[in-house]
Chain A
Amino acid sequence: MIGTKRWITTATMLLVAGTAVAGGFNIYEAGAKATALGGAFTATADDGSAIFYNPAGLAFLEGSAVDLNLMPIVPSAEFTSARMPDGTYATGKTTERTFPIPGAYYYKNTGEFTYGIGLYAPFGLGVQWQNPETFIGRRLSYDVDLKTVYVTPAVAWKVNDNVAVSFGIDVAHTEIKLHRFNTQDFGGDMTPLNVIDATIEGSSDLNFTPTAGLMIKATDKLTFGAMYHHEKEMAIGNGKMTLVNVAPAALAPTVDATIAALGGSEHSGTTALNLPHMLSLGAAYQVTEAARVEINFVHFGWSTFKELALDFGNPMLDQTIEEEYEDVWQIRAGLSYAINPEMTALFGYVRDNSPQPVESMSPLLPDSDRNDYSFGLAYALNEKWTLTGTYMSVNFDERTNVVDGEQIVFPSEADEDMWDRTNPPGSYDSFAHIFGLGVGYRF
């Protein structure tokens, strides 16, 4: 098991630096073709990424195939604080980074059964703010990196010519790393002094949960699909907090004493990260020989993500970050149009509702509702090779946590002075480019 875990870590974690581009910190982009179709793929699922979108689709594919996808995500976010008491505004901008999201699949049709295995990263988060030493939200997070990889072996059973079901196991691993500053309130100044640079990191045990799919070809033109990935509780038992004294010389001895009083600069801890179930219900309709449309309704059980409880066995270090996410539905729509036998144009649209209540919108994860627009081209080089290129723009609604002149916060923060809260009042605007390249080889 250790060997397996190490393999995942070395082979994949270096590649998968996640970033949230679907609601919460979900990444629904598991394949280039599906992404071009706005992720509306549950009732089509006709390439290897079916292992994520609906493994039952594998049952209707012939032969064997390897599908390799790489979807670089380029997110960006900006923050503008509410007008501060001194009349100024604090701003923040994330660093420009590219997160390469993988989707690697293999399947083999043996007739009645099709076997497959896939590696993809359906959850991830990467928010790194520029000028971390002065960024106003640095006491909560100035750099967070969450990576989650799923490896799913699945089997699809073709019940008859029109119906297939599938079952698989989602084997998942998570790594998380969070950087923040502890500050000393520098009396009278709006910029507290950084005294401790704290890093919190950990990785989960392997987690096993079921996944299932169903595909029904109701008529020659109409197909229904359903997919389900079970929710997960990723237990992180090897958490570590490292405290580094970054105080100016005059304060350094005091901060050293503080760190010593906390029990030293390194602490072990545990936490658990709850990941939601994903349920997609889709219908696809072959409008003409060339044109196919699909619509998916995707349900995320985000209400499982209530909090992130960091337990270091020390009340001075323990922290519970309230999240209180809510279940959400997304609508995903896709259109494919075969221009000729080799080339297919793909278009997609997503209405993605954020599961994040405004109270927990923060520099850690400034989420909001969004509209995604996508298009792509799939090109069959020959009977074996297929290339797919994709682009998706993720357009976040601008969102603020200030309503009627007051910051909306959880009751536990209500008594704090607005500018003493670690989560600053203000507005976020975010945007992401997603590019995709898929290579398929059928044999």
Chain B
Amino acid sequence: MRKFYMILIALVGLLALGCSLDSPQVVEVEYHQPQGEEIFSNYVAIGNSLTAGFMDGGLVMAGQVNSFPQLIATSFGYPAGSFYQPLIGSPGVGSSDVSHLGEDLVAGVLHFNAAAGRMVPLDVYSRDDVPGMLLAAAVPVPYSNLGVPGATTLDITNALGAATSQAGDNSFFDFILRNPTFGNVSMLNQLIARGPTIMTMWVGNNDILGGSLDGQPNDGVVHADQDVNITPAALFGQMYNTLLDGVLDGVENRHGHRPLIFVGNIPSITSIPHFMSTDLFRQVAGLPDEATMPVFSVEADAVLVLLPALSYDGSSGPLIPAEYTLSQAEADLVAATVVAYNDIISDAVAARPEVFLYDANAVMAGYAGTPQGMHFLVLAASLGYEAAEATTLFSLDGIHPNNKGYGVVANGFLAVMNTELGTDFPMVDTGALTWDPTYGVGYGKALPTRPSISPEAATAMRALFR
């Protein structure tokens, strides 16, 4: 009996010893870089208006369906509708300040109204109507195309909505980031949440463009008495490198792989049709030659005239204000900043094996001075409407590509991808991409001798990035 109890006590002891709960062993999962077709399985784009498919001074479905990220996704073989974009119904949302027409109004995209012989907003409507035009507001995940018109490099990591954008009131952040629905996080964090395997990132343009469109670009030296409106190159470089690392490390820390990033550099800003040489402006605006009328602008040494200046009748009206022209020093500042940014981008690409460069600057330089690089209004004077719309790569705002132009951008990115990754994704047939600057109204009337821009359109264009 005693023996039995001894055995029982021993049993209890053994059980007590052997019966504790251990923390389970840690198991390792393998994280691997996507290979082969897997690389192209999750494409996400970040950037600004150029990524968003902004066209004719606004964001509207007619342009968005041909945004370069959508064209790339189509080339990858994504089924229609599977590349989520913040599609906006007609007449679109322009980044427009039209408050002089009334309170809480929004301008749609610009169109060319042949009857009036000038560019005007397609429509001006109540701000309250905007939510009803957001066709993809219910997409349950962050958009695949996260490009936000007006976004600066700082905005990519900092802006959660209009109030926190660098401009202070850029409502496109509200439409596209859809916070607080997505947890009040930035474009960068929405990108990370999507876990891209491949992505495009085209940023930096607005860090120069905002000041350029002011007509008073300022790095703190050219206009020492005014606010700086161009991001200094050193600060841009710091933000750009931080952003790239934030994307690569962020996706890796969340999903276990590093995405391949195809970045675009900054095209020459002073070469786009929005900036006309003084000779071209005199010609288009119907001004007398330099001998007859030596000065037409407040900035007597103006070398470039901004497109909205066409809303002024320079031949008989007041001198064109300084915010519609760039002096030589201002043009040099803009050009030098583009070069400095592109050097930074090249160095950033070279330093990271996952990052590849689409040299947008070189590609667009190839079109500078050619009919394809000219504004519709300029071309129409010599070629006629139809040939002009079929030729130019730029939309009516003179800054953003039109559908055909976005096809060229997509092909630029696709060519780099095919070269770097050994793929053979088909190029976009740019000849098949059409653009209607009248937005369905048609021409029906001969081109006026002096094409112009309505004051509303001019205001809208000047407010593109504010």
Contact = CB atoms under 8 A, between A and B. Distances in A.
Given A251-B180, A395-B18, A426 B27 contact: yes
Contacts of B21: 76-78, 429-431
Contacts of A83: 26-29
Contact of A187 (B11, B25, B28, B190): B190
A251 B185 CA distance: 12
Given A186-B185, A339-B4, A419-B254, A427 B180 contact: no
Contact of A91 (B18, B23, B256): B23
B24 A82 contact: no
B184 to A, nearest CB: 6
Contacts of B256: 85, 418-419
A398 B25 contact: yes
26 contacts: A83-B27, A83-B28, A85-B31, A85-B252, A85-B255, A85-B256, A89-B26, A184-B181, A185-B193, A187-B186, A188-B250, A188-B254, A251-B181, A251-B183, A254-B181, A345-B4, A393-B15, A402-B27, A405-B29, A407-B29, A426-B27, A427-B25, A427-B26, A427-B27, A429-B24, A431-B19
Contacts of B225: none
A289 interface: no
A383 interface: no
Contacts of B11: 375
A287 B28 CA distance: 51
B129 interface: no
A134 interface: no
Contacts, number: 128
A188 B189 contact: yes
A250 B184 contact: yes
Contacts of B443: none
Interface string A378-413: 000000000000010101001010101111000000
Interface residues of A, number: 49
A228 interface: no
Contact of B182 (A187, A339, A402): A187
Contacts of A329: none
B29 A187 contact: no
Nearest to B186: A187
Interface of A: 76-80, 82-83, 85-86, 89, 91, 184-190, 193, 250-251, 254, 339-340, 345, 373, 375, 391, 393, 395, 398, 400, 402, 404-407, 417-420, 425-431, 433
B253 interface: yes
Contacts of A340: 1
Nearest to B185: A187
Given A82-B26, A91-B23, A254-B180, A188 B15 contact: no
A31 B254 CA distance: 50
A86 B253 contact: yes
Interface string B1-26: 10010001001100100111111111
A82 B253 contact: no
Contacts of A418: 29, 256
A82 B20 contact: no
Contacts of B31: 85
B188 interface: yes
A186 B182 CA distance: 7
Q: Which 3 A-B pairs have the closest CB atoms?
A: A405-B30, A187-B189, A187-B193
B254 A402 contact: no
B27 to A, nearest CB: 4
